[in-house]
Structure 1
């Protein structure tokens, strides 16, 4: 379905945008820091890639008992999510390195895990980051027909149960990605607000080559090299993807589909009547900012506000610049949505799913009084 492109009224409320950018720029200059990966990020990259590919190497060696191999597929799922959060995500945003070739090379870790980086950059980097939480524009709100993540989406009776069904849907996300989602997007005439979108031949080639590589090392080689049945292979493959899918699905939903975040709709002229950076503030949520282990694993994506304002800054820096962003938001009377713990955020997401699944729920867009003058 073709939809008209949404615009933002960036001619108003410029003060916050200007101030927060200047303060974050000053932070990096004052501390003589690069906005890109540091040694800590490089070490994390090595650890996560080793967790995924090292676990695979141990499995494919054929030297371990069946139960140990099964456990390693669980570790591969954790590793897959971690690489996606930290390595692939930063690289595909051009945030990992100032060198575009390093970003491109590390971005292919996404493809090697069965997804497609080119389509991700369209649906996530461009569409989701521009049209966050805008119904029929933000692709991240379109998880499944039986999941209603926007209060403006059509209500269906199945949505009464979505607070339970959603977590099963999240678990299946990467399986759908590997076998269906990328092909579906390549074949679409319209992606979000982009009409008649065509794709370069080179990207079609990369899609089929990288998918073939993934299917070969994940499905063909284990059957050829290991003393297992197709049932064992299926159990291991599902364990990996159900683990990765659940982790990835939950983390990304906690950033935008919680009680505090807004779901604005454009006016009759198809405009959001606020500055884009303020739109990102009111539609985005942070969580568990003091949880160092979680911050390490999810690549700073629990600092989703900072990521949306500064997507080309490596996630390793988000905890430090978050104090600057929060202080500036408070000065301008702009909401800085956050939950103290991971479980607080999950609970809020669960309650939001229940609300959006209730046919009697009536959504009203919150009104803000910004201090912008």
Structure 2
């Protein structure tokens, strides 16, 4: 009975693989340097499995009587890469990691050998050179042939759409070759009797993902009776660098919270300072520097008995400077690399020039 069940499961898996790999997406091209080529594979969905599919032209030199439709696991042997045939297509699984396109190779083919199993001593070898694959050897039925020129990428930058406009920070992935210094994130600037500034700093050539959360706070009055919301600001978070909040014109009678996606409030790790101005007067200022918040910032005139924001040290008691928090949640790593062990879902990406 167990053997029968195992056989049924195997058949289902094979059928699933055959049905899943249907969409061919052509990667965009990018030239990484004057002498270096780099193909770009732009991913769009962290839940999918992606693969490179070897282009038909790679098999053409060794068909030797076979039709293109006859290419498959019974007629061709592919060496140098880890993949498998599905019909006439050869798929190479690639890791789906939530990362930026940063102009660096995430996957490379150093050598590729294709052998015709139906013709004695018929094979072709491609080697990588300056990011491209070039034909190094061609033998048909035991007779060496003149190698022909080929032009397609051997190395690929794999990642998600990325902002590369210098001096800017966009939601999602960013990769900048110059330092990002004090770039304003917030569009609104006025709170009760004061102003705020939210700025981001990131070192150059550091990929970072910026997320923004601005939630609906209309339900807080029923969940937290008596709360008097004065101001609501977006919660920003970065995977690299620091985010600085500076709220001026406030006093210790203001209380800072972070609202998560479920509408729960937590103490926000802000610290208070009375900053002396050039004219000798003082301005109350609430400050925060860290990697940001997984939630919306809520300023209220109500001191609520809620927990400290998860990920901070002891948190900050709203309205005081006692035991200040050490920052927001530690940098949360982007989604761990998806190890592709079987092509069970998603899309195939054509290996193009």
Q: TM-score, normalised by structure 2?
A: 0.19
More strand by share: 2
Q: Which structure's relative contact order is higher, taking Cα pairs within 8 Å and 6+ residues apart?
A: 1
Q: TM-score, normalised by structure 1?
A: 0.18
